[in-house]
Each structure stands twice: as structure tokens, then as C-alpha cells.
């Protein structure tokens, strides 16, 4: 009797590092994968609220918060399709008097969701490296470009964290431009900045140099998203975790190789190869590492931030995040 592969759905954006799974160049062992290319916000909302997919890209912060549900709905593998240095993602109203990070103290700061991963990293970095305590600002949450964005998960925060939802017709981008908030911590560039509003700038205009210096000092390339499996799928088919991890590593290797194709550029950046070579000089050959061991220290910092910011009920250890059989590194 010929056994067919297990058909599973996976929701993930169309990254270069997952493209081989999307186009079928890489096939996970034993899995007939249905790859759904969806914007990250849609994937997170549908997975967190309705558990619609078998496997999904997931906000690291949302995943950590979900582990305190009974029962925990997901289990992750140590693969990180999204990473981003976030110093560039702190926007200010130029009339707010903010010239350096400590000027944020006492100010009104917007963030689409308090629990979003970008915000956790930004608040943690500002507290650790610039002396801006988590509870020293008042936070305003809601839609950045469209009104009505709620938190994806219910939050129970300590009383020293002050959060105010914005009005039903307000947006954080317009509030930043007109001075109703003084700063914005976000993952997406706000339209007021993209349209060159004279009122809006970055806290760190020279963000690339600042972020490279941060990496040299800490060794941290902030993790934004991981990959999760619905717990009931994992409990029934635990081998899926290893199979997906192996496939995702293979897909990422193809993306690494394509950065150095010089016969014809696959990405529309004229000096792509130069940028890749410069990145290697600063961050090493495997500058976007997968696997547990290479990311344990970065995850430890994030988990401390999550706890300090009132999101985690206790400070988790990195090993608690992942399927046990994926903690050991194996060669592809």
C-alpha cells in the first residue's frame, strides 16, 4: 500500500528565504504542503484568533504570550523568517522637543499594538542602552494607517504601564504628523514619513551605523517572527517539526546562494553583492542564523524584555519555546 504525504497548510509571506517552499523547489519530507502567501498581519490574526492553518509564520511576541494560554495552542521550531534592526523604526514629531532617546521620557508614544514584537524590542533596547524606562512614557495604541486595530491577544499588564487606545476614527500616522503623539514605535514606515512630512523624522537618522554598532556590542540581530505548528498537529505527527525545519533550512540556503549570483541580479539592487559582502564583514557568513544554539542568547534577551514589559507571566527560558527534537542542530 502506497501512503500519500500528509497534506498541511502553511501561511507565510513570500520571503526570498521561503520562496523554495512556495514554488515547490524544496518539499518537506512526508508533507504535501499548501503554501498560502499572506501578509503577516493577516496570518497572525487568523492564526491567533481562529487557528486556521496547520503551520504559520508567527510574531515572536504573540507566540510567547500564547504559551500562557491553557492549553497552549502552538509549538514553535527555531526558524526565524523575519528579523529586523528596529532603531530605524522610532519616528518622532520634530516639534516635540525630542533630540535624543532620553527626551522620550514623559512623552506620548504611539504603537499599533503594545504586544507586537517590534515594540518589545524597541522598548527593551531603549531601556537597556539609552536609559528610557518602560513605564516612563504613555502609550497610545491603534491603527497606524486605518482606524480600529485591536490587540490580537488579551493583555493583563501591570498598573505602572499606561496604555490608552486611540479614538475610533484616529490613526497613529496622522496623530504623529499633527503632534497629538510625540513619537511612534512601529514595524511599518508610517505614511506621514514616507510622504516627507516636514513634521516627522527618525530618532536615529543615521540608523544603519547605530544598528551596526549595536550588533557589534551585543551580537543581537533581533528576531521578529518564528514558525509555529498547531499543537494538535504536532501531538499527532511530531515528526512534522523536524521535517519542516529541514525544509526551511534548505530553502534559506537557496536564498543565501542567490545573493551572490553575478551573471544576472535576481534582486533589483544595483550593488546587491557589495551589500551582501559588507554584511558578512560585520555579521559573519551566516548572518541570518536558524537553529537553537546560534539564537539562544538573542532569545534570552527577548524573553527578559517580554517579562519586564508585563507580557509574560514569568520569564521563560529559550528551550521552552520549541519542539524538543528541534533543539539539536543538524547539517543539511
| pLDDT per residue as tens digits for the range 134-168 | 999 999 999 999 998 888 877 889 999 999 999 99
Cite the residue boundaries of each domain of the chain with CATH code 3.40.190.10.
6-82+222-252+291-322, 87-218
Work out whether strand 223-230 and strand 90-93 pair parallel, antiparallel, or are unpaired: unpaired
CATH topology of domain 6-82+222-252+291-322: D-Maltodextrin-Binding Protein; domain 2 (3.40.190)
CA-based Rg of the chain, rounded to a whole angstrom? 20
**pLDDT tens, the chain, 332 aa long:** 456 799 999 999 999 999 999 999 999 999 999 999 999 999 999 999 999 999 999 999 999 999 999 999 999 999 999 999 999 999 999 999 999 999 999 999 999 999 999 999 999 999 999 999 999 999 999 999 999 888 887 788 999 999 999 999 999 999 999 999 999 999 999 999 999 999 999 999 999 999 999 999 999 999 999 999 999 999 999 999 999 999 999 999 999 999 998 899 988 999 999 999 999 999 999 999 999 999 999 999 999 999 999 999 999 999 999 999 999 866 65
User: Is the Cβ–Cβ distance between 28 and 243 less than 8 Å?
Assistant: yes
Q: What is the spatial order of strands in the sheet that 90-93 belongs to?
A: 163-165, 138-141, 108-111, 183-185, 90-93, 200-202
Q: What are the backbone dihedrals phi and psi of residue 74, each rounded to the nearest 5 degrees, phi first?
A: -135, 160
Residue 110 CA to residue 113 CA, distance in Å, equals 9
Pick left, alpha or beta for residue 137 (phi over 0 → left; psi -120 to 50 → alpha; otherwise beta): beta
Q: Give which of 138, 111, 108, 125 is closest to 204, Cα–Cα.
A: 125
Using DSSP's 3-state secondary structure scheme, residue 9 falls into strand
Fold of 87-218: D-Maltodextrin-Binding Protein; domain 2 (3.40.190)
Summarize pLDDT for 234-278 with one digit per residue, the tens: 999 999 999 999 999 999 999 999 999 889 998 899 999 999 999
Contacts of 305 (CB under 8 A, 6+ apart): 120, 121, 123, 124
| pTM score above 0.85 | yes
* Torsion angles phi and psi, residue 229, rounded to 5: -120, 135
| Coil, strand or helix at 300 | helix
Query: What's the rounded Cα separation, in Å, for the pair 38 and 263?
Result: 31
**Residue 55, Cβ neighbours under 10 Å: how many?**
29
Amino acid at each position: 500500500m502506497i501512503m500519500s504525504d500528509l497534506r498541511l497548510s502553511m501561511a507565510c509571506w513570500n520571503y526570498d528565504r521561503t520562496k523554495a517552499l512556495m514554488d515547490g523547489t524544496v518539499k518537506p519530507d512526508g508533507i504535501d504542503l499548501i503554501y498560502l502567501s499572506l501578509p503577516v498581519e493577516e496570518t497572525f490574526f487568523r492564526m491567533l484568533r481562529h487557528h486556521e492553518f496547520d503551520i504559520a509564520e508567527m510574531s515572536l511576541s504573540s507566540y510567547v504570550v500564547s504559551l500562557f494560554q491553557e492549553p497552549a495552542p502552538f509549538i514553535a521550531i527555531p526558524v526565524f523568517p523575519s528579523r529586523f534592526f528596529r532603531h530605524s523604526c522610532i519616528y518622532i514629531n520634530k516639534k516635540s522637543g525630542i533630540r535624543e532617546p532620553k527626551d522620550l521620557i514623559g512623552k506620548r508614544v504611539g504603537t499599533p499594538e503594545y504586544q507586537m514584537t517590534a515594540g518589545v524590542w524597541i522598548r527593551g533596547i531603549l531601556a537597556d542602552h539609552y536609559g528610557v524606562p518602560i513605564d516612563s512614557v504613555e502609550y497610545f495604541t491603534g491603527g497606524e494607517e486605518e482606524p480600529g486595530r485591536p490587540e490580537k491577544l488579551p493583555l493583563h499588564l501591570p498598573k505602572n504601564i499606561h496604555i490608552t487606545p486611540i479614538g475610533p476614527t484616529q490613526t497613529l500616522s496622522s496623530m504623529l504628523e499633527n503632534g497629538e503623539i510625540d513619537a511612534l514605535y512601529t514595524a511599518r514606515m508610517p505614511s506621514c514619513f514616507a510622504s516627507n512630512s516636514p513634521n516627522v523624522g527618525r530618532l536615529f537618522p543615521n540608523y544603519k551605523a547605530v544598528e551596526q554598532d549595536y550588533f557589534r556590542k551585543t551580537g543581537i540581530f533581533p528576531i521578529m517572527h518564528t514558525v509555529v505548528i498547531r499543537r494538535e498537529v504536532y501531538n499527532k505527527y511530531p515528526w512534522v517539526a523536524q521535517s519542516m525545519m529541514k525544509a526551511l533550512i534548505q530553502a534559506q540556503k537557496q536564498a543565501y546562494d542567490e545573493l551572490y549570483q553575478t551573471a544576472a541580479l535576481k534582486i533589483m539592487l544595483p550593488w546587491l553583492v557589495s551589500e551582501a559582502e559588507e554584511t558578512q564583514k560585520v555579521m559573519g557568513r551566516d548572518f541570518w542564523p536558524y537553529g537553537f544554539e546560534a539564537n539562544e542568547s538573542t532569545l534570552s534577551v527577548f524573553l527578559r524584555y517580554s517579562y519586564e514589559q508585563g507580557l509574560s507571566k514569568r520569564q521563560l527560558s529559550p528551550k521552552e519555546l520549541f519542539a524538543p527534537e528541534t533543539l539539536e542542530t543538524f547539517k543539511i
